[in-house]
Amino acid sequence: MNLKQYLFVLMLFVLPFGSFCQQAKNKFSINGTVRDKATGETLIGANVSLIGQSGLGTASNAYGFYSVSAPAGTYQLVISYTGYLSDTSTIVLNKNIIQQVSLGKSTGILDEVTVTTRRKSDNIAKPIMGVQKLSIDDIKNIPVLFGEKDILKTIQLLPGIKSAGEGNSGFYVRGGSADQNLILLDEAVVYNPSHLLGFFSTFNSDAIKEVTVYKGGMPAEYGGRLSSVLDIKMNDGNNKKFGVSGGVGLIASRLNVEGPIEKDKEKGSFTVSGRRTYADVFLKLSKDSSLNKNTLYFYDLNAKANYKLNEKNRLYWSAYTGRDNFGFGSTFGIDYGNLTGTLRWNHVFNSRLFSNTSLIYSNYSYRIKINSGTNDITITSKIRDLNLKEDLQYFINANNRINFGLNLIHHDIIPGTITASGQSSFNNLELQKKLSLEDAAYISHEWSATPKINITYGLRFSAFSALGPGTFYRYDADGNTIDSSKYTSGQEVKTYLHIEPRFATSYKLNEDKSIKFSYNRNVQNLHLLSNATGSSPTDLWIGSSNNVKPEVADQVALGYYQNFKKNVYEFSAEVYYKTMQNQIDYKNGAELRANENVESQLLFGKGRAYGLELFFKKRYGKFNGWVGYTLAKTERQVDGINNGKWYDATQDRTHEVSVVAIYQASKKWTFSSTFVFYTGNAVTQPSGKYNVNGHTYFYYTERNGYRMPNYHRLDLAATLQGKKTKKYDSNWSFSIYNAYNRANAFSIDFQEDPDNPQKTQAVQTTLFKLIPSVTYNFKF
């Protein structure tokens, strides 16, 4: 598609908005920010209703801002948020009004059930499909490994989101691979979201306010990945008073400090959260000299501050750094981690137009040190982004909102450098740096066409340019070099242009039931090269190039939604079908690391994924939780693999079940449990063996033609509330991971039977059996 076609499609899309903007004339607006009364934290997605004219309602955006318009008159403005007491005020609307709102938390379980002044059945009316929101309160009682609250492990309990395996924080969404998930922390991309090779996620729960996951029906402002978006917002900090909270566990401790920037002025706040493991301390205490020289720890540090310049302008700054470090004495060591930073400016142009301008930095790197005896070898790699975003929201009226914006990202990828110092000769190696520019513009419209029909539709225009300097090769289907070309700094090597339409609609059968339909196209220009089952800190990212085309996915979904018993219970059933183009796989024996010609090792094909997701949840009460079930199929077809026939993808699982139950037995005790079951991953295993010169070799016939054993596990937890006063709060959290001591398979390797070389035996590796843990949490 050329530039003229691009602009023509854009004009066809934008012109209809003129008629909606005309509707905004002769109306007045109420706007403001919704906050927590006790801390000053903004409340995302608070419901705003204007009683007095039917059908007027909206929700606060990602920064707590809301705007609702109506003809002149007298109204009741009702603002509510789950778990908070609603706020009702009388508004005489004869001019534009600024109304700042603070909500206080409800107290007790009964209040949580009865506070339902929020618009009924938001999950019924809103057209966006496959979206789930979680707060830290939602996950605080869910049992997890070593008692560490883990966002990534919690979302894997939702239907359609699959764990990449035990001891791995990677996840698969609706047939996509782990790199097809966009993970954002305050708008900054986190390229490796795991600690300790995947046992923990990089997200410290003390620093997090809200988590939103989109399983395919993502709004037009998101792009760059095929399968999902995990949008994580950090706490802003308490602008009322200073506070300290944290926890001490068996493997890690946490500390969080927050407070106002200017005391008693409520103009700004800050928060700083840190977490560190101390497995290395236990290693040093060991009497085994081979252990106490080893290194094993990770740390996180989150920081955020905001300051109100005036009623229309507020500045935000947030940053994250986290790193893993482990090694075996002086012979081997690896450290890796993320560094992100976001500088954001919120500006209210007028009562209808809200702007967020962000400058974002992301950096992921790893370093490996090897002492071979004669040389000290260091291997490094890095991916670094500089991102400028402009997002605007125009509130036409309560039931009409236009979102539009721009996004410019400069990618700087250093695939690898190898340096050595020592006695023997060694040629240092530096792979060619890869530079690229990724641009996008988007526009979308949220519209209530009728009281029963809600529609969200939009377009995202994306462009990706691979840039010089460097030498770029072209390869044939067998990986042989066709030719090469040299490019100067900033010279365009290859540019790809795409239009990504997004559409979602809901039709309310009645106040408690609806059906929804969505269609999405997504494009991905960054690709993770990994031939391991799960993610690894040394996996390599590459951009689209003259050899590697952008990945493209088209997904359609249809869903049925119903609420029961005054919205205490909810049920949903979604079916989806997704096709994927330009999917990447690897030649047998592909060498992906330290390879200047890594693109010659790649194979390309297509994929398809389809399935059914069922979800039943009890929202409130002493006993609550949910049950999720997924029936799915994920396949690939790649030239050069399985004779060109369709084969199961690694992440294909037929069945997956998750059960979460939480019971508040008393004011002091809360009990919870989770149960998970899923079909084993598709794997490639040997079909036979042969002997050459006394050495046994296995041969493989079909890619992913076998299955790992089925996986299932029960986790239990209990929380004991300690003495609670106005100044101090504490609790003890006890948990048991894998309560019935199931020996789940992490991997299966094949080897000759030492007692009978004619036979082959399978050796199963199990990571975790029954693991108890205890954590003490405090806040003052």
Give the number of other CB atoms < 10 A from CB of residue 26: 9
> Band of the pLDDT at 464, cuts 50, 70, 90?
very high
Q: Are residues 625 and 698 in the same domain?
A: yes
Q: What is the DSSP string of 201-249?
A: ES--GGGEEEEEEESS---TT--S-SSEEEEEEE----SSS-EEEEEEE
pLDDT at 167 over 70: no
Residue 147: the pLDDT is 67
pLDDT at 119 over 50: no
pLDDT at 52 over 70: yes
Q: Are residues 164 and 45 in the same domain?
A: no
pLDDT digits (tens, 9 = 90+) for 210-241: 899 998 778 999 999 999 999 999 999 999 89
The answer to whether position 301 is within a domain reads: yes
Average pLDDT over residues 56-71: 85
Q: Are residues 99 and 180 in the same domain?
A: no
Average pLDDT over residues 551-576: 93
pLDDT digits (tens, 9 = 90+) for 327-386: 877 788 888 999 999 999 999 999 889 999 999 999 999 888 888 777 788 888 899 999
The answer to whether position 727 is within a domain reads: yes
pLDDT at 533 over 60: no
Boundary-marking domain end, from 119, 147, 177: 119
Q: Are residues 154 and 182 in the same domain?
A: yes
The answer to whether position 366 is within a domain reads: yes
Q: Are residues 79 and 137 in the same domain?
A: no
Sign of CA dihedral 638, 643, 645, 648: negative
> Band of the pLDDT at 113, cuts 50, 70, 90?
very low
* CA atoms in the 13 A half-sphere facing the CB of 232: 27
Give the Cα separation of 41 and 206 in Å (integer). 14
Q: Are residues 115 and 186 in the same domain?
A: no
The answer to whether position 125 is within a domain reads: no
Contact 744, 732 (CB under 8 A): no
> Band of the pLDDT at 117, cuts 50, 70, 90?
very low
Residues shown for the chain: 780
pLDDT digits (tens, 9 = 90+) for 437-451: 999 999 999 888 888
Q: Are residues 614 and 756 in the same domain?
A: yes
Report the relative pairing of strands 28-36 and 101-103 from DSSP bridges. parallel
Q: Are residues 87 and 217 in the same domain?
A: no
Average pLDDT over residues 155-167: 84
Higher pLDDT: 709 or 329? It is 709
Residue 694: the pLDDT is 66
Among 86-100, 161-175, 234-248, 640-654, the least confident range: 161-175
Average pLDDT over residues 241-259: 91
pLDDT at 1 over 60: no
Give the Cα separation of 12 and 344 in Å (integer). 32
Query: Cis omega (within 30 of 0) on the bond before 193?
Result: no
Q: What is the DSSP string of 327-358?
A: EETTTEEEEEEEEEEEEEEEEE-SSSEEEEEE
Residue 531: the pLDDT is 62
Report residue 110: phi and psi, to 5°: -65, -40
pLDDT at 504 over 90: yes
Residue 109: the pLDDT is 42
Average pLDDT over residues 583-593: 79
Among 10-14, 198-202, 369-373, the least confident range: 10-14
Give the Cα separation of 700 and 722 in Å (integer). 58
> What's the token pair of residue 649?
């993808």
Give the Cα separation of 695 and 427 in Å (integer). 33
The answer to whether position 559 is within a domain reads: yes
Residue 231: the pLDDT is 94
> Band of the pLDDT at 426, cuts 50, 70, 90?
low
Among 92-96, 195-199, 597-601, 656-660, the least confident range: 195-199
Average pLDDT over residues 19-29: 62
Cα angle vertex 382, ends 378, 385, to 5°? 165
Q: For the domain that residue 91 is a member of, what is the CATH number?
A: 2.60.40.1120
pLDDT above 70 covers a percentage of the chain that reads 89
The answer to whether position 397 is within a domain reads: yes
Residue 292: the pLDDT is 63
pLDDT at 197 over 90: no
Amino acid letter, residue 432: Q
> Band of the pLDDT at 53, cuts 50, 70, 90?
low
Average pLDDT over residues 141-170: 80
> Band of the pLDDT at 286, cuts 50, 70, 90?
low
Residue 114: the pLDDT is 31
Q: What is the DSSP string of 83-130?
A: TB--EEEEEEESS-EE--EEEPBP-HHHHHHH---SPTTHHHH----S
- Looking at the structure of the chain, the number of domains it has is 2
pLDDT at 137 over 80: no
Contact 641, 602 (CB under 8 A): no
> Band of the pLDDT at 288, cuts 50, 70, 90?
low
pTM (two decimals): 0.90
Q: Are residues 480 and 565 in the same domain?
A: yes
> Band of the pLDDT at 424, cuts 50, 70, 90?
low
* Residue for token pair 């969505």: 518
Environment class of 310 (CB within 10 Å of its CB; exposed 0-12, middle 13-18, buried 19+): exposed
* Residue for token pair 């534009």: 96
Residue 708: the pLDDT is 86
pLDDT at 71 over 90: no
Give the Cα separation of 504 and 518 in Å (integer). 4
pLDDT digits (tens, 9 = 90+) for 626-665: 999 999 999 999 988 888 899 999 889 999 999 999 999 9
* CA atoms in the 13 A half-sphere facing the CB of 652: 21
> What's the token pair of residue 519?
């269609």
Mean pLDDT of the chain: 85
Give the Cα separation of 500 and 606 in Å (integer). 18
pLDDT at 118 over 60: no
Q: Are residues 550 and 600 in the same domain?
A: yes
Q: For the domain that residue 356 is a member of, what is the CATH number?
A: 2.40.170.20
The answer to whether position 148 is within a domain reads: yes
Task: Determine the structural domain holding residue 582 and report its residue range.
Answer: 131-779
pLDDT at 16 over 80: no
Amino acid letter, residue 725: T
Boundary-marking domain end, from 119, 151, 169: 119
Q: Are residues 52 and 165 in the same domain?
A: no
Amino acid letter, residue 101: V
Q: Are residues 186 and 290 in the same domain?
A: yes
Boundary-marking domain end, from 97, 119, 141: 119
Higher pLDDT: 209 or 705? It is 209
